[in-house]
Structure 1
Amino acid sequence: MTDIPARRYPKVAMVLHWLLAIGVIAQWRLAVAGENAASEAAGREIMGNHFSLGVVILLLALARLAWRLVQPNPPLASDLAAWERWLAKTTHTLFYVLLIVMPLAGWYAMSKYGNGVDVFGVFSLPALPVAPDPEGASEIFGLHAAAGVALLVLAGLHILGTLKHTLVDRDGNLFRMLPFGQPRA
């Protein structure tokens, strides 16, 4: 008898994980495209999509965190080294922090410009009740961009860990987050 269901993440967690992964990649590409747009108008339109997707990512991250509180993650493999356990927990904690703080910082910075955030024309987040401060908003966006780089580095570390477990350890760890394959007990 195998214990694969106990080792695999629930399907809700899988869907939220992969939607967040796709969203982060799309955000990165939108930010680069917005900065390199051919015109100011094109840049504004691209960044409008970046802001909208940021709100969606915030909602997905909050949903993933809520799900995790209700449905804890399956246990890590018992043969992981202490440093691997620590790195896994630290990486996941930092993901949650960045995926929640970054969109909030973007909303806060937009509010300092006196703007809310339109979310794909479906709904809008109003500007937060903060004093106008374009210089402060610019500084916040600078921190937001630095956090974006940190998020990409963290994602790279996450991918490298997955590759290590898949290609070197051959422990089936990748299949914990996929609805197919054999995670090791």
Structure 2
Amino acid sequence: MPRYSRSLIILHWAMALLILAAWLTSVGGRQVRLNPPLLHFSLGLSVLLLVLPRLVARWWGSQPRIEDPQGPWLNLAAKIGHAVLYLFMIGLPLTGWYAASRMGIGVSLFGLSLPAIVASAQGAPGPVAEIHETGGTIILVLAGLHSVIALWHQFVLRDGMMQRMNPV
């Protein structure tokens, strides 16, 4: 089975690690205003920065064609699943940036200060912050499901699908 390009493999695993690290470094509630999670901000924004080259690489054909498709419904489910993951990889960093801006917290990408994307407001940051927090958990569930499906291909179907994204 053909493999993904080296660039897509690197981006895939780098983003997987960044997403997990961003989730592990997240905090909520009052702690955010008192002690902003700067590493969390940088990790999340790194995902946003990497998603564009990843989409461009996919669009330019760095993604191998599946030689033995599992059928139209499973292929459609796979496309929808990947699209949802991409929406979260774009939406989560943007909603986090919005929520931080709304709380008046400066956002930086590993020391590079970024502008606020909305005016700060007193009180609770609003529903976007809640969407961001819930979305962080959802993307982990989706990534876990993505991993379980990959393992299913490897050990149940034995179709070599995981070799396409193997970094070695």
- Answering whether residue 146 of structure 2 is matched by residue 146 of structure 1, we say no
| Distance in 1 (alpha carbons) for counterparts of 2:122 and 2:128 | 10
Report the equivalent of 1:116: 106
**Offset at 1:35?**
4.7
Instruction: Mark the CA change 1:40 to 1:143 in structure 2 (over 3 Å): closer, same or farther.
Output: closer
Aligned partner of 1:44 among 35, 38, 44: 35
| Distance in 2 (alpha carbons) for counterparts of 1:175 and 1:163 | 11
| Distance in 2 (alpha carbons) for counterparts of 1:136 and 1:76 | 47
Map 1:56-67; keep pairs closer than 5 Å.
56-67=46-57
Identity percentage of aligned residues: 38
Report the equivalent of 1:76: 66
Deviation digits for residues 18-44 of structure 1 (CA, Å, limit 9, x no counterpart): 00011111112112xx359xx959x82
Indicate conservation of the 8 Å contact 1:116/1:125, yes or no. yes
**Offset at 1:138?**
3.9
Aligned partner of 2:85 among 95, 102, 110: 95
Instruction: Mark the CA change 1:149 to 1:40 in structure 2 (over 3 Å): closer, same or farther.
Output: closer
**Offset at 1:72?**
4.4
Report the equivalent of 1:30: 25
| Distance in 2 (alpha carbons) for counterparts of 1:110 and 1:50 | 11
What is the one-letter code of the residue matched to 2:35? R
List structure 1 segments (4+ residues) > 3 angstroms apart after TM superposition.
Answer: none
Report the equivalent of 1:13: 8
Q: Which 5+ residue runs of structure 2 have no aligned equivalent? A: none
Which protein shows a greater Rg?
Answer: 1
**Offset at 1:156?**
1.3
Q: Which 5+ residue runs of structure 1 have no aligned equivalent? A: 181-185
Deviation digits for residues 44-75 of structure 1 (CA, Å, limit 9, x no counterpart): 25x21101111111101122112212234111
Report the equivalent of 1:85: 75
| Distance in 2 (alpha carbons) for counterparts of 1:132 and 1:79 | 50
Indicate conservation of the 8 Å contact 1:113/1:137, yes or no. yes
What is the one-letter code of the residue matched to 2:10? V
TM-score normalized with structure 1 length:
0.81
| Distance in 2 (alpha carbons) for counterparts of 1:174 and 1:68 | 17
- Answering whether residue 114 of structure 2 is matched by residue 125 of structure 1, we say yes
Question: Could you say what the CA RMSD is over the residues aligned between the two structures, in angstroms?
Answer: 2.2
